[in-house]
Amino acid sequence: MNGLTEVYQDFQDALEQLRRTGHREGVELTAIPAPTHLAPFAAAVRAEVRRPPAPSRAPALTAGPAAAQDAGAAAVPGRAPGAPEDELATGRFVLLHDPSEPTAWGGPFRIVTWARAAASREIGCDDTAGANAWTWLLEALERHRAGYSREGGTASRVLAEGFGLLGDHEEGADVELRASWTPDGSDVAPHLAAWADTVCTFAGLPPYPRGVTVLHPRR
C-alpha cells in the first residue's frame, strides 16, 4: 500500500474482497509489491499457470551429453527468457485507488492487468490472435458479472525462431494482453476471478465450473 498510513475504508473493503476471492484450480495467485507511481493506493497480484508434472517413469537407458541437453532447454522459442520450463501463462493484476476520482478513470478505482503465454507460431501469425485475447477477457468479465466501464487494452504477438543449437526447436510466439478498466464499485472480487480465468485461457485451459480440474492441459 505504497507506504501510506491512512487507508480509506473503500480501499480496505476492496482489499478484503481480493483476499476472499475464490479462483479456479490450476492457477496460483500470489500477492506482490504494487507500483508506487500510478495511484495513492495500490495492491497487486501475480498469477501463474504451470503444466502439471509428468508421471514418473524409469530413466532412459541412453542419454545424450548433459551439456547438450541443457543448452537445448535453455531457451525455448516462444517462452520469455528466464521463464520456468513448466510455465504455461503468467500475468499481473493491479488494483489502483485514488479518492480524487481522476477524470480518465471515471471513478475511484482502476484495474490494470497484463497476461502473457507462449503459443505456437501458427497462433502467433494469426491476425485474429489479439482480438481473441481481448474477447477472452470481456467474456470472462461477463461470465463473472463484473461490472465495468472505460475499458481499453492492447494485444501484441512476438514471433520467435531458433538458430544454432536451438535451430531444431519448433518456432513459437508470445501472445500478450495489456488491459485496464474501471470497476463498478469496490466489489473487485469478480474482476480478479475473471482475470484469473483469462490467464487460464491464455494457458490453453478452457472455462469450466469451479470444482472441476483439467489434469492435462493442451496448447
Could you tell me the pLDDT band of residue 18, with boundaries at 50, 70 and 90? confident
pLDDT, residue 212, reads: 42
Cell of 28: 496460483
Q: What local confidence, expressed as pLDDT, does residue 53 receive?
A: 54
Angstrom CA distances, 20 to 10, 15, 105, 133, 219, stand at 16, 9, 25, 27, 30
Place 17 in a pLDDT band, splitting at 50, 70 and 90: confident
pLDDT tens digits, one per residue of 148-172: 999 999 988 777 666 676 556 666 6
Query: How far is the C-alpha of 162 from the C-alpha of 80, rounded, in Å?
Result: 13
What is the model's pTM?
Answer: 0.72
**What is the structure's pLDDT at 181?**
97
The pLDDT of residue 60: 40
Q: Residue 74: what pLDDT?
A: 30
Going from N- to C-terminal start, the domains of the chain cover 1-50+86-203
Average pLDDT for residues 53-79, to the nearest whole number? 37
C-alpha cell recorded at residue 62: 541412453
* pLDDT tier for residue 179 given thresholds of 50, 70 and 90: very high
CB distance 89 to 115 below 8 Å: yes
Question: Positive or negative, the Cα torsion across 116, 122, 128, 132?
Answer: negative
Under 8 Å CB-to-CB from 179, ≥6 apart: which residues?
A: 112, 113, 114, 134, 137, 151, 152, 153, 154
Amino acid (one-letter) located at 132: N
pLDDT in tens, 110-152: 999 999 887 765 665 667 878 888 999 999 999 999 999 999 9
> Quick one: pLDDT at residue 69?
29
pLDDT, residue 52, reads 61
